[in-house]
Amino acid sequence: MLPCTQKLQDLSWKPKGIILSGGPYSVYDDDAPHVDPAIFELGVPILGICYGLQEIAWHNGKNVVAGTEREYGHSELKAKRFDGHVDMLFKDLEDDLKVWMSHGDKLGALPPSFHIIATTKNAPFAGIAHETKPLYGIQFHPEVTHTPRGIKLLENFAVGICKAKQDWTMDKFVDKELARIRALVGEKGQVLGAVSGGVDSTVAAKLMHEAIGDRFHAVLVDNGCMRLNECEQVKKTLTEHLGINLTVVDASDLFLDGLKGITDNPEAKRKFIGGTFIDVFEAEALKIEEAAANSPKAGKIEFFLQGTLYPDVIESISFKGPSATIKTHHNVGGLPERMMNGQGLKLIEPLRELFKDEVREMGRKLGIPHDLIMRHPFPGPGIAIRVLGEVTREQVAIARKADYIFIEEIKAAGLYDQISQAFAALLPVKAVGVMGDKRVHQQVISLRAVQTTDFMTANIFRFDWDFLERVSTRIVNEVDGVCRVEYDLTSKPPGTIEME
Ligand code: GLN
């Protein structure tokens, strides 16, 4: 993926085809980004999606206007037949397709030498193609899950029209990556990396271990807000099962003492935890560095492992230059500027070309156990952002226990892999209950479970009532201090997945 303003002459390779993606601008805006016109002379197939379609039309007559009706959502597409044939782009697809639209602009007319290859009720130019050149434009979005056959359409373009080969395999990728890491790090180089017990950091760590053995140093920081037994479990899996050279730092007091008094400010919580994590990690890195320098296999720690995935990379690509959108990734492993610059650490990001499902596939190939591979995401600040209001040792203990029961029941019911993320949160309020004929005034647990593929939008998981009742009974009985349990019915948007 490259910014749309990439100059062709600066590319050292020739593409087999070009896809122009969608974008938030309108092509007729004064400051709208435009592609290098040279791409239209290159002779390779081009597919424009939404803004990309409008960009092709802009290049061919500038007839793009603001529509009177915006279209966001599902639409029924009809592929157009010519002499009984559909265009190559729709090969082996049904004539009627469910597609997703998200645009406000439209073509004012068909650009010269183009014909229509698909329509919808509202979009007469839902798909267009050049009469003689391999130039295509579509108004809908084949890349989202709401367009169920979109991947087939992209395959038609990449494989059928551009003649790209489908020879990428995970095995070959792993081999190439191992060789690249070994060459980069050299015979003596040492690499440092943070692990959390999550999928990404574990897969990245296992790959490093395969590549350079104990010259990779993993650090797990216990912030006192991890799940029940989690630290021991992660330690066991990483060291005993995966053979990774791991240091666990127990910094729970530092975190829990520091969280005291932060009552109504989720951002302050996250900031404090992020900052303290970095302090602890930095101190540990120095210790490891000293120890490594005195070992027979001496070498300086020169590299830092980061579990960046491709979606993070995509987000940081901007035609305004990389600094315009780069965000600080709050996942475990984001290293402070001062460490990178001060100690001259270089980044290794072996997962930066992969999506989550591919990271999981790599993990399976590297022998990481199923439970870990399918693990629900867990936020860096951990239970601290699932205890709403002030975080104390007592509150963390309550949330932790309730969460453990919820997840245990989900696993027992065989539902864990159907749910994308589930957890229990502790609400900062008290309610009245009656337990053992005694009136009590205790806290409330909120359960949350969602289904999603991309975590950008999410639906609530529909448990049956018996299940929820069972979990509720167990939590009230087994967790001291809780007299009520509720189930969160908010989708994302408007809710976020986590509560803080
Ligand atoms: N901004 C353009 C429009 O609203 C393109 C939108 C898009 O690419 N999704 O039509």
Give the 3-state secondary structure of 101-140: EEEEEEECCCCCCEEEEEECCCCCCCEEEECCCCEEEECC
Question: Atom 9 in ligand 1: which residue has the minimum CA distance?
Answer: 22
pLDDT of residue 453: 80
Half-sphere exposure of 232 (CA within 13 A, CB side): 2
252 known member of a binding site: no
pLDDT of residue 323: 45
**Residue 22 Cα: closest atom of ligand 1:** 8
Distance 62 CA to ligand 1 centre (A): 15
Task: Give DSSP secondary structure letters for 468-495.
Answer: HHHHHHHHHHHSTTEEEEEE----BTTS
Distance 44 CA to ligand 1 centre (A): 24
Distance 250 CA to ligand 1 centre (A): 49
d(CA 336, CA 465): 47
Tell me how long the chain is: 500
| Count of C-beta atoms within a 10 Å radius of residue 41 | 8
Closest CA to 410 of 377, 376, 380, 361: 376
Q: In this structure, are residues 154 and 91 in contact, taking their beta carbons and an 8 Å threshold?
A: no
Distance 29 CA to ligand 1 centre (A): 12
How would you class 276 by CB atoms within 10 Å of its CB: exposed for 0-12, middle for 13-18, buried for 19 or more?
A: middle
334 known member of a binding site: no
The one-letter code for the residue type at 197 is G
264 known member of a binding site: no
Probe residue for ligand 1, chosen from 31, 70, 99, 105 as the CB with the greatest number of ligand atoms within 8 Å: 105
Question: Could you list the active site residues?
Answer: 50, 141, 143
Can you list the positions of beta strands (E) in 181-262? Answer: 190-194, 216-222, 246-250
Which residues sit with their C-beta closer than 6 Å to ligand 1? 22-26, 50-51, 102-105
Q: In this structure, are residues 451 and 419 in contact, taking their beta carbons and an 8 Å threshold?
A: yes
The predicted model scores a pTM of 0.80
Closest CA to 38 of 88, 4, 76, 69: 4
92 known member of a binding site: no
Probe residue for ligand 1, chosen from 20, 27, 34, 51 as the CB with the greatest number of ligand atoms within 8 Å: 51
ipTM confidence: 0.95
Residues of the chain short of pLDDT 50, as ranges, are 322-334
Residue 316 corresponds to which tokens in the numbers above?
């940081």
198 known member of a binding site: yes
Distance 57 CA to ligand 1 centre (A): 13
pLDDT of residue 379: 87
Respond yes or no on whether the N-terminal peptide bond of residue 377 is cis (omega within 30° of 0): no
Closest CA to 248 of 216, 274, 273, 281: 281
**Residue 141 Cα: closest atom of ligand 1:** 9
